[in-house]
Structure 1
Amino acid sequence: MGLISLLWGIVAMIWMVVALIPLLGWGNWFLIPFAAIGAVIGAIGVLFTRSERNGRAKAGLLLNGIVIVVGIVRLGMGGGVI
Structure 2
Amino acid sequence: MFNVLSYIIGIISLVIVIPATIPFLGWANWIALPLIVIGLIIGQISSSDGGRNFCLVILLIAAVRLTLGGGIF
TM range (shorter): 0.7 to 0.9
Coordinate RMSD, CA, aligned:
1.4
What residue is the counterpart of 2:53 in the other structure?
62
TM-score normalised to the size of structure 1? Answer: 0.77
- Can you list the C-alpha shifts for 1:1-20, whole angstroms capped at 9, x where unaligned? 11111111111112111111
CA contact (8 A) 1:32 1:67 kept: no
- Can you list the C-alpha shifts for 1:50-75, whole angstroms capped at 9, x where unaligned? xxxx3xxx221111101111111111
- Can you list the C-alpha shifts for 1:11-34, whole angstroms capped at 9, x where unaligned? 111211111122111011121121
CA distance in 1: counterparts of 2:51 and 2:16, whole angstroms: 15
Higher helix share: 1
- Name segments (4+ residues, structure 1) moved above 6 Å: none
* Paired residues for 1:20-39 under 5 Å: 20-39=21-40
CA distance in 2: counterparts of 1:13 and 1:22, whole angstroms: 17
Identify unmatched segments of 5+ residues in structure 1: 47-53
CA distance in 2: counterparts of 1:23 and 1:63, whole angstroms: 26
TM-score normalised to the size of structure 2? Answer: 0.85
* Paired residues for 1:1-82 under 5 Å: 1-46=2-47, 54=48, 58-80=49-71
CA distance in 2: counterparts of 1:18 and 1:45, whole angstroms: 29
Structure with bigger gyration radius: 1
Identical pairs, percent = 34
